[in-house]
């Protein structure tokens, strides 16, 4: 049995039982999640790196949120997860928030139910520094790059930025920018190469949305320095 399931049975309820509970207490079917391999990688990486402040962009049903928060609770050093999701209540019926409450994890959580382009500048202006970020918001190139750009401004050297749904061409392109225009190193966290659900992959491939079924893992990048290029720098990406 997954260690994560033992520490947070609600993750098992969502991933295996395929049900989630809304803020009103209604049970609904789960139709979108990051998968067990990704959830376990998040949980284990948080345990290993012991961050004090984590940001996630996008919550959906809250599997990533629960994985991060369960690890922060286990570390027990006062860590905090800041979640940014403007549609958590209207579109997702507050399922992630309900799960966090049911799991007894609210103590380690701070919700920002507003758009990334509003929340992230405010967080940067406040002077907050982060150790870890999980980027799983709107999957166009501009939004993905915007999310990472603000994350990079707040991320400490040695901190980790994670991109979800890396098979999407826009996300892949944003990652190429990161690797050519800043100093980041990709790190392996043990996610199998074919870790997305087959049905989901085949549907996305048939629509031409993915490059390859082998590219769908979450990808983790360590920030090696605060280096930024000169004002006139450009590298193909």
Beta bridge pairs of residue 68: none
Distance from C-alpha of 236 to C-alpha of 149, rounded to nearest angstrom = 18
Report the pLDDT averaged over residues 127-136.
98
Q: Residue 234's pLDDT band (boundaries 50, 70, 90)? A: very high
pLDDT computed for residue 84 by the predictor:
98
The per-residue b/e assignment along 143-156, b for 16 or more CB within 10 angstroms, e otherwise, is bbbbbbebbbebbe
Domains of the chain with CATH codes? 3-223 (3.40.50.150)
The pTM score is 0.91
Residue matched to tokens 């959830």: 39
Q: In this structure, what are the phi and psi dihedrals at residue 130, rounded to the nearest 5 degrees?
A: -115, 160
Q: What is the pLDDT of residue 214?
A: 42
Check whether 121 has a pLDDT greater than 70.
Answer: yes
Tens of pLDDT, residues 17-64: 999 999 999 999 999 999 999 999 999 999 999 999 999 999 999 999
């Amino acid at each position: 049995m997954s260690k994560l399931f033992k520490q947070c049975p609600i993750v098992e309820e969502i991933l295996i039982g395929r049900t989630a509970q809304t803020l009103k207490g209604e049970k609904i079917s789960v139709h979108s999640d990051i998968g067990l391999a990704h959830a376990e990688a998040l949980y284990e990486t948080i345990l290993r790196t012991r961050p004090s402040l984590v940001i996630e962009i996008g919550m959906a049903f809250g599997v990533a949120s629960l994985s991060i928060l369960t690890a922060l609770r286990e570390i027990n050093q006062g860590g905090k997860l800041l979640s940014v999701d403007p549609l958590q209540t209207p579109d997702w019926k507050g399922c992630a928030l309900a799960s966090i409450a049911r799991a007894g994890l609210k103590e380690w959580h701070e919700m920002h139910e507003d758009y990334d382009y509003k929340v992230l500048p405010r967080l940067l202006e406040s002077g907050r520094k982060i150790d870890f970020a999980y980027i799983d918001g709107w999957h166009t190139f501009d939004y993905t790059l915007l999310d990472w750009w603000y994350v990079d401004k707040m991320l400490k050297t040695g901190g980790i930025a994670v991109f979800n749904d890396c098979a999407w061409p826009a996300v892949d392109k944003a990652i190429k920018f990161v690797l050519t225009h800043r100093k980041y190193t990709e790190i392996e966290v043990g996610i199998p190469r074919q870790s997305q659900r087959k049905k989901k992959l085949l549907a996305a491939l048939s629509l031409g949305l993915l490059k390859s079924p082998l590219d769908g893992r979450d990808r983790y990048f360590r920030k090696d320095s605060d280096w930024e290029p000169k004002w006139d720098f450009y590298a193909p990406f």
